Amino acid sequence: MSFIYPEFLFALAAISVPILIHLFNFRRFKRVYFTNVRFLKEVKQETRSRSRLKHLLVLLSRILVLTFLVLAFAQPFIPAEDQPTTGNKRSVSVYLDNSFSMNGVNAEDRTLLEVGRQYAYEIGNAYAATDEFQLLTNAFEGRHQRLVNQEDFIELSDEVTSGPEVRNLSEVLSRQQNLLNESGEGKQTLFLISDFQRSITDLDTWSNDTNYAVRLIPLTPTATGNVYIDSCWFENPIRQLNKADELKVRLVNTSDRTLENVPIKLLLNGTQKSLASVTLAPQSTIDTALVYTANQSGIQDVEVVITDYPVTFDDHFYLSYPIASKSAVLHISGDTAADRIGPVFRPNDYFQYQLVGESGLNYASLDQNDLILISGLRSISSGLSQELNKFIDNGGSVLAFPCDRIELDSWNRFLTSLRADTYRPMDTAKTRVATIDQQHPLYEGVFESLDDRNLDMPVVLKQYGLTSEIKTNRETLLGLQNGSAFLSRYSFGKGQLYLCTVAPDDAYGNFWRHAFFLPTLYQMAFFAQSTPTPYYTIGEEATLELNRFSGVGDQPFHLESAGAELDLIPAHRSINGKPTIFLGNSSTGPGINSAGNYRLTYDNRELAGVAFNYARKESELSTYTATELKTALADRGLDQYAVIESDYSTLSNTLNTISQGRSFWEWCLVAALFFLLVEVALLRLWKN
């Protein structure tokens, strides 16, 4: 225990005054005459004993009155845990949770963030003006990574607004401790002001550190139920013009009540295209489908909307993707005079078909195509093999047909470099296609129905069988009667290789004239178009690669919101000769903090659509109560952590106790008054 004014303790010498008074009784004795003194001795003894006890009690009361009165002026107190050992400057770190869940309201119909700002203000005022403070939010802004004075701390607290960032509390504690490691003395205090959602309160990772006293200030919302859009996705990976798309939407109801006829709207490029309603049972998840059709090519901005209150950040979901007006198909042929593939693509204006020989091939323009077909090549040169590898690795698609008298070693080196199966020597046994993978996206939805018993399948007169010398990821799209593959697909990098065992020639069978041939090549061309990520999550690291970018000069890239309210210059770097745009809230990212649809532009040209959504981590509004936090801390032995349950009316006193220590001068004054009353009672009520 310490004293604010220890010099007043010298006044305890005044205790000697009542002691001296009681030692020297200055009262005059009065003579009393008795007619009979037979019982005088007994009465005299009894009166003297009672009088001595009374005088001793009065003396004790007076001593205690003076003692507690002196102590009240000396102001005894138990120092705060974070009191510095030398000097009078302390460092205090305050974390104010500003995630979207703090937009919930409390019993007084005030947002939790508003209450949290007031609590931060009270913390600042509870400490001395000479102390230093850190204010930390989920954004981990640079201006919050330093200590400021009391006035600046209060100003920073008033400026805090809600944001999309979400942090685990262990990450917050680590950031607070890192800053205070080199500042302050003694035991330092960390404050956490939050709603303590279960999704971020990772208590199992917390540990005791005797250098820090951690104070938890929980803010409790009145409602913990929420309805939100968890995710959206397409079952079919290909988007085509004037063809119906089915968007799957997953809704989650975390409340304890049934919600009937919840409306869901889908907007395409700002125009409502679809509307549905669902009924959500308590604590349930449901998937529904929204069907719509895009009638124009280019970048498509999709927004899915529901209505919920008071947490609204997860009521919107954004997607962005392109629909190409053309598909570029390049046919590299060893026999350009006998073009059996051109008639498939040329009648359709959607396809830009080009036929070239190997000698006239421009390697630099390969990446401007969606699909590359190879036929009639007896060998694959090392240069062509290298360029095709790069093309597939960057997301392109290649369909390879063999031909007569191919050089197996050359072809198989090319196939091995793509981790695909290799060709065997020619097999002249007649067979036919027997199986088709109807579940594969390439054929899904192409045929209304297929009856294997009555289906006229392609005939194979001769073929180059496949052998597996290494482990591959082959998908058999069309299979032969003997169980071997006829048409296979292999994934490599971001693209794929389609490998056929026959040439498009009558000598190999009738596949190139069969009904399967046209839809197979069409679907390959559709699937060969780039399918960029439809959306990104704010705060997560992500990149966007521009595989077909042909910009020149040193113009910067721009990431613009609709209406150009926001225009950022994202970081980028050239990887394998292609620009890679860095997306995300980091030192390398553009700092997107608002969900929505954006445009990536270069020199006033739109290159891609980019959609950002808020993380759904805080959509589950389940929180820890103060009692649950206390129990959890006790169970884990975290004795350096304490929960402050004070409401706003009593918070100031609680914070003063934490910052200044526990003061006892009020109790000393009350005790002095009490013993003064005891003295008065003894003198007035105790009669001899």
The angle, 0 to 180 degrees and rounded to 10, between the axes of the packed helices 665-685 and 40-74 is 160
Q: End of a domain among 323, 347, 366?
A: 323
Single-letter code of the amino acid located at 171: E
| Interval 101-126: pLDDT, tens | 898 888 888 899 999 999 999 888 88
* Alpha carbon distance 387, 358 (integer Å): 12
Q: Is residue 31 a part of any domain in this protein? A: yes
Residue 288 near residue 304 (C-beta atoms within 8 A): no
List phi, psi (to 5°) of 513.
-105, 0
In this structure, is residue 212 part of a structural domain? Answer: yes
123 and 216 in one domain?
Answer: yes
Q: Are residues 63 and 128 in the same domain?
A: no
pLDDT at 587: 40
Number of H helices, E strands in the chain: 12, 34
Band of pLDDT at residue 30, cut at 50, 70 and 90: low
Please report whether residue 659 resides in a domain: no
Residue 545 placed within a domain: yes
Average the pLDDT over 198-208 and give the result. Answer: 91
Helices 40-74 and 16-23, interaxial angle, to 10°?
A: 170
More confident residue, 169 or 563: 169
The predicted pLDDT at position 416 comes to 93
Residues 512, 377, single domain; the answer is yes
Task: Provide the domain count of the chain.
Answer: 5
pTM, full prediction: 0.73
Residue 421, C-beta contacts closer than 8 angstroms, at least 6 positions apart: 415, 466, 467, 468, 469, 472, 474, 485, 488, 490, 499
Q: Give, in order, the Cα–Cα distances in Å from 523 to each of 340, 370, 529.
A: 18, 12, 10
Amino acid present at 223:
A
Question: Which residue has better confidence, 684 or 166?
Answer: 166
Q: Residue 589: give its domain's CATH number.
A: 2.60.40
Q: Is the pLDDT of residue 276 over 50?
A: yes
Which range is least confidently modeled, 112-116, 444-448, 548-552, 667-671? 548-552
CATH of the domain at 436: 3.40.50.880
137-190: pLDDT as tens digits: 998 888 888 899 999 999 999 999 988 888 999 999 999 988 888 665 556 889
The confidence score (pLDDT) of residue 76 equals 66
If asked whether residues 319 and 385 sit together in one domain, one would say: no
Indicate whether 608 and 629 sit together in one domain: no
Q: Domain boundary residue among 488, 504, 528?
A: 528
Question: Per the structure block, which two tokens stand in for 405?
Answer: 């008298």
pLDDT over 80 at 547, yes or no: no
pLDDT value at 665 more than 70: no
Tokens of 66: 């003076």
Q: Tell whether 213 and 268 lie within a shared domain.
A: no
Residue 128 pLDDT greater than 90, yes or no: no
> Could you tell me if residue 514 is inside a domain?
yes
d(CA 529, CA 238): 8
Q: Which residues pair with 95 in a beta bridge?
A: 136, 192
- Reply yes or no on whether the pLDDT at 253 is more than 90: yes
Identify the pLDDT of residue 266: 96
Q: How confident is the model at residue 264 (pLDDT cuts 50, 70, 90)?
A: very high
The range of the structural domain enclosing residue 51 comes to: 2-79+665-685
CA 596 – CA 610 distance, rounded (Å): 9
| Mean pLDDT over the full length of the chain | 84
Tokens read off for 484: 């071997």
Q: How many CB atoms lie within 10 A of CB 192?
A: 24
**Residues 368 and 312 placed together within one structural domain of the fold:** no
My answer on whether 104 and 237 are in the same domain is no
Is residue 258 domain-shared with residue 312, that is, in the same domain? yes
Bridge partners for 111 per DSSP: 105
Name 492's bridge partners.
495
> Is the pLDDT at 608 greater than 50, yes or no?
yes
Residue 23, in any domain of the structure? yes
* Res 553 pLDDT > 80: no
User: pLDDT at position 648, please?
Assistant: 58
pLDDT-based confidence at residue 85 (cuts at 50, 70, 90): very low
Q: Would you state the pLDDT for residue 586?
A: 45
Beta partners for 558?
601
**Shared-domain flag, residues 315 and 431:** no
Are 452 and 584 found together in one domain?
no
| Residue 589: pLDDT band with limits 50, 70, 90 | very low
If asked whether residues 336 and 458 sit together in one domain, one would say yes
